[in-house]
Structures are given as C-alpha cells and as structure tokens.
Amino acid sequence: MYIYRNDEESDGFVSIPDNVTTQIKTEFSSPIKQLVAGYSHFVVLLEDGKCYTRGMNNYGQIDGKMGGEGSTVTHFHPILHNIGTVLSVNCSSLSTTLETESEIVLVGEVSQTFQKLSYPYCQGMNSFWVHRKEFSDETTSFGPWHGFIYRASFHNLPCKTLQYFKNNLRMLVKVPKLSDISIQ
C-alpha cells in the first residue's frame, strides 16, 4: 500500500513526510480486497471480509463514536468485526459504509432522519445507521457529500416515447448514431 500526503495532519499518517509517495507496511492477516478514501479517512477491506479504518474521526467515521474536532486515529483500527463478512466498503467525506449480505451499515455523519436501531454489534456507538436490505442486489454509491442505496439490477422495458425522443434528437443534432443513448 502506498500513500501520498500533502500537509494534512488529520489523515492518520503523521509520521510520513509530506509531498512524497511512501510505501506503508501493514500486518494484515489477509490480502487487501478494496481500499476507499473519504475526506481525510479511509477504510481497508481485506479478502477475509474484515475492515480497518484510519484517519480523521471527528464525526465517528472511524469507529462510530463522535470523536470531535481534531480527533484522529493514527493506527489501523478494526471496525465492526462482529457483523460477519463484509462484501464491499464505501466512503463519503464524513462516513464509512460496510455492506454485508443482508445489511448496509453507515458509520459517521449520517442524516438525523434515519432511525437508529438497536444492534448488538453497534453497542457504544452514537453515530451509525443500519439498513436491512430488502433485495439481495442492493448496494451503495457515495460521493463527497451524498450517497445512494440502490438496486444494482435495472430492467429495460421497451418505451415508444423514448424511442420517439431518440429519433427526434438524432434528426435535431444531425448525428446518425447516438452511442451514448441506449434504448431497447
């Protein structure tokens, strides 16, 4: 694993020089499957389904406990090892998402409109939300300040209105092939 720092003290790597790409030695028990970065934190998913976080923890994005201003974790912190095998991870600027076969767990800054349920593996956390999957193909996608939970399978249905729109658009822009629009 390599890291590049640029004067950011809250990233959890204070001993690494700024503006230099540096290799990090890890003691993980399994190879890395996925690595995702948030604003100033990141999460590592190992092939054995275990996750580790590191970096800024001011909103609980590392461990689900609001750390407050200046709170930084400078070691690889295990996160929710008791929820079972994690399939994928995601980050927004201020949250971490772990996806299992049946749940999506968000840790960190999460909208107050979400109901916080009582789960044994979230004891002691004050900054989390658990979504029980209704469909097996539900997954997540996050950007800096927003995120989606969506179904990964989309069903294309024939639509005469869209075909009419595509044909008219083709004539208006005088392009015989609109490769970026696909209507079946």
Count of CB atoms within 10 A of residue 83's CB? 19
Residue pLDDT, tens place only, 107-123: 887 765 555 555 666 66
Transcribe 53-101 into DSSP letters.
Answer: EEEE-TTSTTTSS---TT-EEEEEEE--TTS----EEEE-SSEEEEE-S
Domain boundaries, the chain: 2-153, 154-184
Report the pLDDT value the prediction gives residue 170, as an integer from 0 to 100. 73
Distance CA 81, CA 85 (A): 8
Distance CA 107, CA 109 (A): 7
Residue pLDDT, tens place only, 64-86: 776 666 688 888 888 877 788 89
Topology at the third CATH level for domain 2-153: Methylamine Dehydrogenase; Chain H (2.130.10)
Residue pLDDT, tens place only, 133-143: 888 888 888 88
Residue pLDDT, tens place only, 153-183: 766 556 677 777 777 777 777 766 655 544 4
| Segment (H or E) for 161 | helix 160-173
Report the pLDDT value the prediction gives residue 43, as an integer from 0 to 100. 93
Distance CA 49, CA 184 (A): 38
Tokens 């083709």 correspond to what residue? 170
Residue pLDDT, tens place only, 28-75: 989 999 999 888 888 999 999 999 998 888 887 887 776 666 688 888
Distance CA 43, CA 104 (A): 15
Contact 129, 61 (CB under 8 A): no
Distance CA 156, CA 173 (A): 25
List of residues 6+ apart from 25 with CB closer than 8 A? none
Distance CA 62, CA 84 (A): 18
Report the pLDDT value the prediction gives residue 70, as an integer from 0 to 100. 66
Report the pLDDT value the prediction gives residue 58, as an integer from 0 to 100. 84
Report the pLDDT value the prediction gives residue 176, as an integer from 0 to 100. 61
